[in-house]
Amino acid sequence: MPVQAPRRLFTVDQFHRMAAAAIFGEHDRIELLSGEIVEMTPIGSRHAACVSRLIHLLGPHLGEGAILRIQDPVRLDDYSEPQPDLAVVKSRADFYRDAHPGAADVLLVIEVADTSAEIDRTVKVPLYARAGVREVWIIDLNANQIDVYRRPSSGSYLDGVIRSRATP
């Protein structure tokens, strides 16, 4: 009978101490999800172009009440600190210099999925819901659709809509 090795879960604080101790490489693309250190997929050109387009479209409309953060951490709880492709957060004079925004600071999270749609839907969306993030979009480049999740309640979203775009 195979023996299951115990898994070691890490807190956000431990994750930060490991980064400060240079345990991770400078160019490692990792994030902490439910206590597990997860390698992020490389950013392809379609993904990068979509993120750039979103910055171009959203940035001018935010005004003084919000900050657009690109691939920066959001602390959801003691065990999760994802790095969404874009996050619209409440404006602060210090621009979150002393601590990453928490779930209560987040107005919108956008995950762009080229190869990560399954993980975004099955792992990240429930994490965002449990933390109370108000709205999450997954832009699925392969399915040519946007999943919109709103109104978190009891670990899931009450409203979930898929918007498809007709291909030319």
pLDDT in tens, 39-50: 998 899 999 999
What mean pLDDT comes out for the span 65-81?
A: 97
CA distance 106 to 137: 13
Question: Which tens digit of pLDDT belongs to each residue from 75-115?
Answer: 999 999 999 999 999 999 999 999 999 999 999 999 999 98
CA distance 34 to 101: 17
Whether CATH 3.30.420.10 fits 43-164: no
Estimate to the nearest angstrom the gap between the alpha carbon of 146 and the chain centroid. Answer: 15
What does the mean pLDDT of the chain come to? 93
Residue-level pLDDT at 27: 86
Residue 168 has pLDDT above 60, yes or no: no
CA distance 85 to 63: 20
In the chain, % of residues over pLDDT 70: 98
Residue 164 has pLDDT above 90, yes or no: no
Domain ranges of the chain: 43-164
Q: Which residues contact 134 (CB under 8 A, 6 or more apart)?
A: 106, 107, 108, 150, 151, 152
Residue-level pLDDT at 166: 53
Nearest to 163 by CA among 137, 142, 134: 137
Cβ atoms of 86 and 54 within 8 Å: the answer is: yes
Cβ atoms of 33 and 127 within 8 Å: the answer is: yes
Residue 31 has pLDDT above 70, yes or no: yes
